[in-house]
A and B are shown apart, each in its own frame.
Chain A
């Protein structure tokens, strides 16, 4: 079992460029999440998918879009990257939405110049 995988591990973008962060889980979990982590700010929820076919905004959704491609995969897209989106991005999954422990991927370190 790989758990939760994310690609890429590192990325540097220029302002205005777009990119998609990929996430996949092999634990047959129903719910998936995208977080960003900034120094001193903790983890903040960007978007989540409570179950296959649904997505909802979290605490900080502006500038992002998501797609729940199937039960395993949940992608995060930055349409026009801004320096304020420089952060570490974590994907997570859980069996029961909101109540269960979440399992995290290794993270993507994104720098926007």
Chain B
């Protein structure tokens, strides 16, 4: 059974702080990893993809992957109220994409 686990939250951070979102997965052979953002009542949209161990930065977002620990995280620097949303982790293994249930993030002004 391929599992993707996320803390459901809610995670609350003050404006300007760093938000840290975590995701663990069960299938050691997983090959590609994605973070999606989903605003309430809207569809998911891709924030970051990461395929190899280490960090990948894109603006205020940094994705971190550790395949040995089966762990992928998303850091949001200088968090803004507009970052308040649910963040979905997705993990692909052999063309089978699995999504976590999501972590709800609230950024308070």
Contact = CB atoms under 8 A, between A and B. Distances in A.
A54 to B, nearest CB: 12
A41 B43 contact: no
B92 A42 contact: no
Interface in B93-109: 94-97, 99-102
Given A104-B44, A106-B42, A42 B101 contact: yes
**Secondary structure type dominating chain B contacts:** strand
Interface residues of B, number: 22
Nearest to B34: A101
B45 interface: yes
Given A40-B8, A43-B44, A50-B95, 18 more contacts: A33-B97, A41-B101, A42-B4, A42-B101, A43-B90, A44-B99, A90-B43, A98-B94, A98-B95, A99-B32, A99-B92, A101-B46, A102-B46, A102-B97, A103-B46, A104-B43, A104-B44, A107-B42
Interface of B: 4, 8, 31-32, 34, 42-46, 49, 88, 90, 92, 94-97, 99-102
14 contacts: A40-B8, A42-B4, A42-B102, A43-B90, A43-B99, A45-B97, A97-B95, A102-B46, A102-B97, A104-B43, A104-B45, A105-B43, A107-B42, A107-B43
